[in-house]
Chain A
Amino acid sequence: MTRIDATAQRGFDRVLGAENVISDRARLRSYECDGLTGYRVIPALVLLPRTAEQVAAAVRVCAEHGITFVARGAGTGLSGGALPVADGVVISLQRLRRVLAVDPVDRLAVLEPGVTNLEITKAAAPYGLYYAPDPSSQQVCTIGGNVAENSGGAHCLKYGFTTNHVLALEVVLADGSVVTLGGDTTEQLGPDLRGVFLGSEGTLGIATKVTVRLLRTPEAVRTLLADFPSVAAAGEVVSDIIAGGIVPAAVEMMDTLAIEAAEAAVCAGYTLGVPAALVVELDGPAQECHNQFERVKAICEAHGCTRLHIAADAEERAAIWRGRKSAFAAVGRISPDYFVQDGVVPRTRLAEVLSRIGEMGEAVGLRVANVFHAGDGNLHPLVLYDASAGETARAEKLSAEIAELCVELGGSLSGEHGIGTDKACSMPKMFSEADLELMGRVRDAFDPGGLCNPGKLLPTPRLCGERPGKYRPHPLEAAGVIERL
């Protein structure tokens, strides 16, 4: 059944114990996809190591036998990054989930890769500290997955993404050797390889130990939920806040459909039927936070806000966030099927992109719900469809066109979910051949044999055909502002 030769299989059994090697077809199938279920591949084996040493030993067996491997955290990725390879193994990191150290003095934590994002904050909380990046999936996604995807979250506008919070990584390279990238401080010994590994989607090695910075819990947090008569009005509020020199901890926007879904799931107190709602959160020293909050309130009112709800306590604040964070999983309640898109546009083009998305949806007769990180222009259009009504192909096309629209407007194919399997073939729309070739060379430097999560992130002829999508010049390039040689 498996396509792995017997000596290799014995090798895995030896380093992990046979009971930690899954080879039964039905069980293998439960690993055939991640959070993006449209892509499925049954792996030859699934390995369940318990320690970093076992991960390295297993990778050495792979290297010896030329077997490809795919690291897997919680399998919540939305770009098919943890999609198995048919003749390869999946190395699950779910059993490496010890918090190895929390150092309240130097304000850092050392973690095994399977620790969930939220557990880091839970472990740090007794010291008045927390881990800043907060993807909506934080209760389940792992720090290893976050490292691979350079995950972001609502609070990344002010505090930055995973890459800004990881100090050091212990990495098992494709040949099974173990190296440390980064160190105890931000001082670097030469080029920032840690930074290259962050966001490399599991294609450069497997992180087996992660050192992250912890921040002090802010003295004050103020959160408001404001309704607006139009998406454009809400967009102007965002611009005015930023132009006013305020860096909010988070600015999130939801439209009518997204609000409907979130309310159906968690009854968080959003107003049904309003065209747009903004969640704005400020934090920091109490007085500073208070002053800025008053200015934000005034800006909201100046733009015709129809309801301003200010969280009175931690519980109300949690409710607002529960609504926002459950939004996309909750879309399942208002539509039988949906695609989540993840594009980025320059913040100043938000209103434009939203109206274009609306038109595109109308043109093909599909509804699009919008939930997004308004502060940094990261959109999550949710294309709603009904597979049983034969709408899948149309929806998929619309979703892909939205991502490409973002590139056309000077943005990016992905703000946080990654390229993975899903968008590898769209990469040539954003990057030239030379850009991609450089990425390929860096990949070869880390993994000359191409064993580590092959087929992800970079387009391959096998995946995309000989001539993948056409390069779309960046608007600055089209306008002759930037040169392309």
Chain B
Amino acid sequence: MSTPSAFDPHRPPSRELLDDCVHCGFCLPTCPTYQLWGEEMDSPRGRIYLMSLAEQGEIGLDGALHEHIDACLGCMACVSSCPSGVRYDRLLEAVRPQLERNVPRSRSDRLFRNVIFALFPHRRRLQVAAAIGVVYQKLRGLPAMARLTERVAGMGATFARLAALEALLPPVRLRDAFAALPERIPAAGTARRRVALLTGCVQDVFFHQVNVATARVLAAEGCEVLVPRHQHCCGALELHSGRELSAIARAQRTIATFEKLPVDAIITNVAGCGSSMKQYGELLADDPAWATRAAAFSATVRDVHEVLAELEPVAPRHPVRARVVYHDACHLGHAQGVRAQPRAVLRTVPGLRLVEAAETELCCGSAGIYNLVAPDAAAELGARKAANIRAAHPDLVVTANPGCLLQLRRHLAATSGDAFVPLMHPVQVLDASIRGTAPAMD
């Protein structure tokens, strides 16, 4: 009865949170891995059950628990669909670091993950990678990683993963990769808000135009926008993968960069960054030096659509005549509950017809680094999402997360023979409407 928990004492998942689950299964249909594999262990209910068994010391951390938590996309669809209010997000954030600490990964898995985390959160390295164009080659070229990749590439299964990484990267205009926004953009007319903009790492390198559009739209709607120069990665990818220590370090740096700014809101246009920054309060809750600062920071973080939806539109819009599918990024819809606002913002554009695709709550398979570490599952989900979107016959697809954009681009393209469907961030559509230009299709 009193078998000790398999978790170590540093922030194990709490018994109360585990007990909230009544095993009703309402979360099953929206769980992407359950949709793919139809197994209890790869459903939220099954994962919580395994966590609970581990907490009671009835199973160990390695084996089933480790594998099935690894297979979780962290999309949080289960949080949205649970009528009992189970906080799977908190359970997952508690369990992943436990597994990273306590369960050794196979060598190839470890190396590959190291490659990703050595590359993605670093704007500089991404810029270099983008500049040379072919990341796969670039990985070999980066002195720090040459040895790593050689070994990684030598291992059969990992090839698929590297191919996945390469296939995802978008074409990038060199100018964009190195471009930076000015530090202050004044509001058009009287300022209604003053906000700070997180420019993101992946976002700024690969989707710089989205940041430009965000700043322009905010300014047009009466926001003074501050863009701190020395921003770093917010740590979202690491936080969501259980790399707690580096996530904490990044969180502290980000807080330090933004907290002194005299702003009403800290704004992000990236779903994943928003969800992690809103979590800083919980992440640093145990650290007396940081707890209050982190909580205060998290309280001011807003997704760009939340702010835009609150502001009565002032900038005149030009019509954009298009059928548009808005794809809910999991980290925006499920993790932050922001679903209505982006749609409301898009509806302010005259001529724009918003259409819903089937299975809106299902993840596209991008999910942070998931499409890199589990390419087969991610590809299946991507193809399913693309088929659902195509069935709605959109002229344009919009979504607020670079991961989703990359994933959708790849899979919408892969359905060969079909018409090209342009992809954008919602603020780019709004920007085009306000400026009266045709939306710049990337």
Contacts and interface: CB of A to CB of B under 8 A. Distances in A.
Contact flag (A, B; Cβ within 8 A): yes
B80 to A, nearest CB: 12
**Do most interface residues of chain A lie in helix, strand or loop, or is the interface mixed?**
loop
A95 B43 CA distance: 13
Nearest to B49: A30
A330 interface: yes
B39 interface: yes
A29 interface: yes
Interface stretch (A31-39, A207-215, A436-444): A31-39
B62 to A, nearest CB: 10
B83 interface: yes
B85 interface: yes
B25 A97 contact: no
Contact of A329 (B24, B40, B41, B63): B24
A28 to B, nearest CB: 9
Interface in B26-78: 26, 28-29, 38-41, 45-46, 49-50, 53, 58-60, 63-65
B109 interface: no
Given A26-B59, A35-B23, A75-B23, 18 more contacts: A22-B39, A24-B63, A26-B53, A27-B64, A29-B50, A29-B53, A31-B40, A33-B23, A35-B24, A74-B25, A97-B38, A137-B25, A139-B81, A140-B28, A329-B26, A329-B83, A330-B84, A336-B19
Contact of B26 (A33, A97, A137): A137
Contacts of B46: 30
Contact of B28 (A27, A74, A266, A332): A74
A116 B81 CA distance: 16
B391 to A, nearest CB: 11
Contacts of A37: 22-23
Interface of A: 22, 24-27, 29-31, 33-35, 37, 46, 48, 74-76, 92, 94-95, 97, 114, 116, 118, 122, 137, 139-141, 265-266, 326, 329-330, 332-333, 336
A254 to B, nearest CB: 15
13 contacts: A22-B39, A30-B40, A30-B41, A75-B45, A92-B38, A92-B39, A94-B38, A122-B358, A140-B26, A265-B83, A329-B24, A329-B26, A336-B19
Contact of B85 (A75, A116, A139, A333): A333
B150 interface: no
B20 interface: yes
Contacts of B50: 26, 29-30
Among B28, B40, B59, chain A packs the most CB atoms within 10 A around the CB of: B40
Contacts of B41: 27, 30
B40 A139 contact: no
Contacts of B84: 265, 329-330, 332-333
Interface residues of B, number: 29
Nearest to A95: B38
A332 B50 CA distance: 20
B281 to A, nearest CB: 23
B39 A48 contact: yes
Contacts of A332: 20, 22, 83-85
A97 B38 CA distance: 9
Contacts of A76: 24-25
Which 3 residue pairs are nearest across A and B when measured between Cβ atoms?
Answer: A26-B64, A94-B38, A329-B83
Contact of A29 (B29, B49, B358): B49
Contacts of A25: 59
Given A26-B64, A30-B46, A30-B49, A266 B83 contact: yes
Nearest to A46: B40
Contact of A330 (B40, B53, B60, B83): B83
Contacts of B29: 116, 118, 139-140
A293 B20 CA distance: 40
Nearest to A36: B23
Given A24-B63, A137-B26, A332-B20, A75 B83 contact: no
Among B50, B63, B83, B84, chain A packs the most CB atoms within 10 A around the CB of: B83
Nearest to B86: A332
A35 B23 CA distance: 6
Nearest to A26: B64
B94 to A, nearest CB: 19
Nearest to B64: A26
